[in-house]
Amino acid sequence: MSELCPPSPFSGGILLSYKCNVSCRHCMYACSPKWKGDWISEEDALRVLSQLAEEIRGKYSNPEAVGINYGFHFTGGEPFLKFDLLLELVEASSKLGLPSTFVETNCFWCRSDEATMRKMEELREAGLKGILVSVNPFIVESVPFERTERAVRIGLEVFDRNVIIYQKLFFELFRGMGLKGTISFENFLEEAGGVLRYAELIPAGRAPYKLGYLYARHPARRFFGSSCEQELLRDWHIHIDNYCNYIPGYCAGISLGDARNIKEVCRPSSLKKRPIVRALLSDLGKLYEVGREHGYEEPEEGYVSKCHLCLDLRRHLASSGEFQELKPAEFYEHLED
């Protein structure tokens, strides 16, 4: 493959910032309180939102419905850390006619019924269609479960059926346990660790570094011959970060271009100056070769997944500052926060 030509996006997430109030062990975007704390500017956000609205026009049969891969969500980091910005972007999206918008949150801010209701209602009045409540054993290490329950209860009142609980398995489990407050992951493992077999835990982002002990490990060659063409060129879900990096799927730390000009990103362009993406489109073994040429050494303990190998190689390569596709650079510094 000599050219890159991503399809026009169908759904996606807009990261207002990588800044988060917590630092989950599984975070795919390596978000944490340690990020320097840049937020998307209003000007950039308006350009991105209007481009998305244009790309998506006529593609949604039900612009009032939301789903994990249906619609556009505001996320982070934690978007409620800057509620005014979130509200402004919801209003702008609504004026632009962006369909099926929702916000993703870890619910840290749901400290009382009144405050929760007020913020959710303001968002709904500004045009937001729904909310995604994140529930997992990592967030609940820091955010008391009562706040999550409150977000779901009030979310159902405000947004009716447009409340996505991700993942419901954990929500029901914590409720069944009568959990109050927080629980450490170690205690969770002791009490209910078996449930992880049935949950979605993607071994990418921070997870291989912080949770690697949960998985079997393999040498790099086990993943050679595998191409990421599908993941890099899919249309059904993309992300755009606060620096306007156009991120394919869940491949954090890879930028396919400047999302302020989506038409340009989705036009055929040469892969000559993008050796990382070129390698990933053909064979992970080729990325390994690029890494070795730049002094990468395979760790003895091996890798838990192909994304772990990819990320470890990219982390090494990003430190040279030579590769324009590896953005934002700060992502690679926060993998082990």
CB of 168 to ligand SF4, least distance (A): 17
Distance from C-alpha of 317 to C-alpha of 287, rounded to nearest angstrom: 10
Nearest to 314 by CA among 270, 274, 282: 274
CA angle 152, 35, 323 (to 5 degrees): 115
Nearer to ligand SF4, 159 or 288 (CB): 288
Nearest to 215 by CA among 305, 139, 299: 305
| Binds ligand SF4 by CB under 6 A, chosen from 9, 76, 208, 257 | 76
- Segment 215 to 234, residues that bind ligand SF4, using CB under 6 A: 228, 231-232
Using rule CB under 6 A, residue 66 touches ligand SF4: no
| Binds ligand SF4 by CB under 6 A, chosen from 4, 14, 20, 318 | 20
Residues 6+ apart with CB under 8 A from 290: 275, 276, 279, 313, 317
Which residue stretch of 19-27, 89-97, 123-131, 264-272 sits at the interface with ligand SF4 (rule: CB under 6 A)? Answer: 19-27
Query: Is 263:178 a contact under the CB 8 Å cutoff?
Result: no
Query: Is 252:229 a contact under the CB 8 Å cutoff?
Result: no
Using rule CB under 6 A, residue 22 touches ligand SF4: yes
Site string for ligand SF4, 289-328 (x = CB under 6 A): -----------------xx--x------------------
Using rule CB under 6 A, residue 242 touches ligand SF4: no
Using rule CB under 6 A, residue 24 touches ligand SF4: yes
Distance from C-alpha of 76 to C-alpha of 35, rounded to nearest angstrom: 12
Binding residues vs ligand SF4 (CB under 6 A) = 20, 22-24, 27, 29, 31, 76-78, 106, 134, 139, 204, 228, 231-232, 251, 280, 306-307, 310
